[in-house]
A and B are shown apart, each in its own frame.
Chain A
Amino acid sequence: MSTQPTTSAPATVRAFSDVSVGDALPSITVHVDRARLVQYAGASLDRNRIHWDEPFAKKVGLPDVIAHGMFTMGSAVTLVTDWVGDAGRVVEYGVRFTKPVVVPYETGADIEVSGIVKAADPETKRVTVELTATADGSKVLGRALAVARLD
């Protein structure tokens, strides 16, 4: 699936009454290569060399260039914002970075992201989505929880 912006995002916010605990969100695959990391470094102003300079990354003991944890966190939550229908409805979002996403020069890496509704509060119409993100067979995010306010 493309991760480039389009103009065809949902126009309305998902209704709380249409959501149940246990619902699965549509999964996405985020492809990340070196060019993408340079793009994210520029956008985020996080220019740490471990995210784009392979000899430097290896010199400091990493297997290769690794993705910014914040790139993984930021791209994973698009699963939630697309499902909710408004990126402004995410009121809380937290993750642990359990394993780096290694980004080889030739192939890049694929991050598989899925999500499950873990909790739904009828009083506040807030739902908690647990995200799972894996790359190269390993979980790269832990305790990844996003809370969104629905209509």
Chain B
Amino acid sequence: MPVNADFQGRVYPPTETYRVSAAKIREFAEAVGSSDPVHVDAEVARARGYADVIAPPTFAVLIAQQCDAQLISDPEAGIDFSRVVHGEQRFTHHRPLTAGDAVVGTLHVDAVREAGGHAMVTTRTELATETGEAVCTATSTIVIRGDES
């Protein structure tokens, strides 16, 4: 099934607010094995100058993938989720995601292309607080495997 190249360049409206919680940060840090107490101990975090516990460097993917779902779940995009493999991921942190942040994501479809029988889609999610402070840029490339693989 071909991926719809017309989606390249599309920008989605900002998502609903995602509220970053200390509980989710702890759960995520435990799942990736990040032992830095800055994820779980607000006093440690404040001593280092943060407002509250902060998320591990890849936590933003949780919010970014919710933004990506706008594209992936759109039947017109032609993306078969069962054939999706993650190709690349990048984060640029303007500051750490912090418990208490109220964040919205704006999804940009930067590229849609075919390569070697597979389709590749690059998306970029700009995460910012509700008040417009840039927090993180998350860029992802997914590969939709062709039928013959």
Residues of A participating in the B interface, judged by any CB pair closer than 8 Å? 3-9, 11, 30, 36, 39-40, 42-46, 48-50, 56, 60-61, 68-71, 73-75, 77-78, 81-82, 86-88, 90-97, 100, 146
Contact = CB atoms under 8 A, between A and B. Distances in A.
Interface of B: 24, 27-41, 44, 48, 50, 54, 56-58, 61-62, 65-66, 81-93, 96, 139, 145, 149
A77 B93 contact: no
B130 to A, nearest CB: 21
Contact of B92 (A45, A73, A91): A91
A9 B48 CA distance: 14
B87 to A, nearest CB: 6
A3 B12 CA distance: 38
B27 to A, nearest CB: 5
5 contacts: A46-B61, A74-B61, A87-B38, A87-B54, A97-B85
Nearest to B66: A45
B53 to A, nearest CB: 10
Contacts of B31: 36, 39-40, 42-44, 71, 74
Given A74-B28, A81-B56, 18 more contacts: A3-B33, A3-B35, A5-B34, A8-B35, A11-B44, A40-B32, A43-B30, A71-B31, A73-B58, A86-B36, A87-B96, A88-B96, A93-B90, A94-B89, A94-B90, A94-B91, A97-B86, A146-B57
